[in-house]
């Protein structure tokens, strides 16, 4: 799939998708992602098993992440170059929102 | 006091996934538990009387689950209860906060969409069967005896009936896709 199509599919990104992709800058598996995101958001976001499984399927299907190894049927995933590009474009979009809302607070 | 309860057509009584989950949860709270769900559970489900348990049930639809599907759920502490076609039923005991498998609106809606897609397979099959029966009926009409005509009419009532019912089911799931 070309980058334009991927952009259309992922940007803007749901908060769930954003945190999952962000967490995969390091190799992680489903449960590890949940723990990481929970800690990062100070218990605000607790991802569920179904949500993580289907998000990972979507991200992998579109080439934003790949699974690197599999131990005891647990798959470890990591971000790809395309994933990194989408993540940084989304981060820039959030940064723009941030700079706009700053005046409101 | 009876210690067994049989429920017919459970999947047809609760067509919305969230209703099915809640119905199983209520049954467990009343002490009616299931050990296992299998292919036939949508038609006939057997409950055994036991201690009331507070379970959160999850109805998930996966036509082609990958190898890490079950391990992901199990690692999150979900117990696999069973499978009916592409429907997977999971449960987890809880005390206060009700656990969720679909933690955001998007993934909850997607679960409903997969359920509609699964229902649409039967919908298309019965539509096709209804059309075939109708065409054969019209083409051969003048050669048919009264008994044959009756059979054709019964066949059409049945296939069109199920086709319309499936359309109703899909619409109902769609209307409730956010819960």
Question: What is the helix, strand, coil percentage profile of chain B, to 5?
Answer: 55, 20, 25
pLDDT in tens, B105-133: 999 999 999 999 999 998 999 999 999 99
Nearest CB to B101 within list A50, A55, A74:
A50
A contacts of B90 (beta carbons < 8 Å): 49
What's the confidence (pLDDT) of residue A26? 96
- Report yes or no: A66 and A58 within 8 Å, Cβ to Cβ: no
Q: Which residue of B has its CA nearest to A29?
A: B72
Comparing CB atoms, the residue among A15, A16, A49 nearest residue B72 is A49
Contact B71 A70 (CB under 8 A): no
Residues 6 or more apart in contact with residue A95 via CB below 8 angstroms: none
pLDDT above 90 covers a percentage of chain B that reads 77
Q: What does the pLDDT average to over B99-104?
A: 96
3-state secondary structure of A67: strand
Close Cβ partners of A44 (under 8 Å, ≥ 6 residues apart): none
Give the span between the Cα atoms of B136 and B109, in whole angstroms: 40
Residue B40 pLDDT: 85
Alpha carbon of A12: minimum distance to chain B alpha carbons (Å): 13
B92 compared with B12, residue with greater pLDDT = B92
Residue in A closest to B78 by C-alpha: A49
- Check residues B138 and B2 and name the one with the higher pLDDT: B138
pLDDT by residue (tens digit) across B27-83? 999 999 888 888 888 888 989 999 999 999 999 999 999 988 999 999 999 999 999
Helix or strand run (H / E) with residue B92: strand B87-93
Chain A 54-83, residues with CB within 8 Å of chain B CB atoms: 54-55, 57, 70, 72-75
ipTM: 0.89
Print pLDDT tens along chain A (105 aa).
789 999 999 999 999 999 999 999 999 999 999 999 999 999 999 999 999 999 999 999 999 999 998 877 788 999 999 999 999 999 999 999 999 998 887
Residue contacts between A and B (CB atoms, under 8 Å): 68
pLDDT(B11) > 90: no
**Inter-chain residue contact B71 with A51, CB threshold 8 Å:** no
Q: Using an 8 Å CB-CB cutoff, list chain B residues near A55.
A: 107
Cβ B99–A53 below 8 Å, yes or no? Answer: no
Average pLDDT, chain B: 92
Cβ-Cβ contacts under 8 Å, B69 against chain A: 53
* Separation CA A58–CA A66 (nearest Å): 11
CB contact at 8 A, B108 and B59? no
Q: Is the pLDDT of residue B90 over 90?
A: yes
B-chain residues near A50 (CB < 8 A): 58, 60, 73, 101-102, 107, 111
> What is the distance in angstroms between the Cα of B97 and the nearest Cα belonging to chain A?
12
Mean pLDDT computed over B16-32: 95
């Amino acid at each position: 799939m070309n980058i334009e199509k991927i952009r259309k599919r992922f940007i803007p990104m749901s908060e769930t998708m954003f945190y999952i992709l962000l967490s995969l800058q390091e190799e992680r598996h489903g449960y590890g992602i949940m723990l990481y995101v929970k800690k990062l958001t100070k218990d605000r976001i607790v991802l569920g098993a179904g949500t993580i499984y289907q998000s990972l399927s979507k991200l992998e299907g579109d080439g934003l992440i790949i699974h690197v190894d599999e131990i005891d049927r647990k798959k470890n995933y990591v971000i790809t170059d395309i994933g990194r590009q989408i993540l940084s474009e989304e981060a820039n979009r959030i940064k723009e929102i941030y700079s706009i809302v700053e005046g409101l607070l | 006091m009876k210690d067994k309860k049989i429920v017919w057509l459970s999947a047809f009584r609760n067509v919305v996934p969230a209703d099915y989950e809640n119905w199983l949860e209520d049954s467990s709270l009343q002490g009616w538990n299931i050990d296992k769900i299998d292919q036939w559970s949508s038609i006939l489900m057997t409950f055994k009387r036991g201690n009331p348990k507070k379970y959160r049930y999850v109805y998930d639809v996966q036509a082609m689950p990958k190898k890490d599907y079950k391990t992901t759920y199990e690692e999150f502490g979900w117990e696999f209860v069973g499978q009916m076609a592409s429907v997977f039923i999971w449960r987890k005991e809880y005390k206060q906060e009700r656990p969720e498998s679909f933690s955001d609106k998007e993934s909850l809606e997607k679960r409903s969409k997969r359920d509609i897609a699964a229902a649409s397979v039967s919908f298309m099959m019965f539509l096709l069967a209804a059309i075939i029966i109708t065409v054969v009926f019209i083409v051969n009409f003048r050669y048919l005896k009264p008994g044959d005509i009756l059979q054709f009419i019964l066949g059409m009532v049945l296939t069109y009936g199920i086709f319309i019912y499936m359309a109703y089911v899909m619409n109902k799931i769609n209307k409730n896709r956010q819960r």
